[in-house]
Structure 1
């Protein structure tokens, strides 16, 4: 259980490190511009770390499920090999999807003003700068968000339902 908490803590440090240094730099320099490549890089890492957060929370929910519902076989099921594999898959699952996703967003034609009124490159803000048709990319955004958020949410919900059902089956002292 502590293994995934350590991963989650490191993830949160990385997640904050994507936007805060740029914000502090902009506040210090009184300049609020970001290069095209820096914007794409920031968006990519923000998206990958956001997806990783969903996946690690799912792995943590599974770990808690095994801890509560199968406490006697927990060390056999959640051995160091499985924990390492789960963590590695959580950290790498969003990488290929968001490489392509970021590429599609930044391959759109941009024209006119290229000023963002944000301190980090967010998808809606970047899409407002595009002068082409963004309908397909917006549908792709919703599809990926649906997959990256909904599937882990349902898995977490399922594990907690099983945990609650297991706790309710336990005999109580009052009978």
Structure 2
């Protein structure tokens, strides 16, 4: 499901709370047709721009239900995430001037304690999630299938990002 933030000025911690609230709504109070298709014990979060909000959601989740995250072009004033042990795939844009990867995505990746991957899209600006991008789609779907569904068949698809569309790839999860 997708959410709209309360304000474009919300900070990452607020966005993380909003992501967790959306998951709680889907599990507990959504219409029955939605609720009947939701597995309360297998949840994931993703976010763009202040995609660091997905890291905030993982950090604040005490239920253990949020199993994985994919922050895209993440920004957060908190640069260190050693308390996050769930699987995280960070996707950054090589030419992101809003949340430069050297100041945000890469330090976030380096500080994470659990399974992690970092994909940097060659030449991509901060707005790469607004356009069709097969590498981004591959990472999001494969990462969630691998870590939320615990389907190891998808490990192959979360590994080995290379080619002209990728400027950097690193992982400890392959």
Common fold, TM-score beyond 0.5? no
Q: Whose Rg is larger?
A: 1
Q: Is the helix fraction higher in 1 or 2?
A: 1
Say which structure, 1 or 2, has more relative contact order (CA 8 Å, 6+ apart): 1
* TM-score using structure 1 length: 0.30
Q: Is the strand fraction higher in 1 or 2?
A: 2
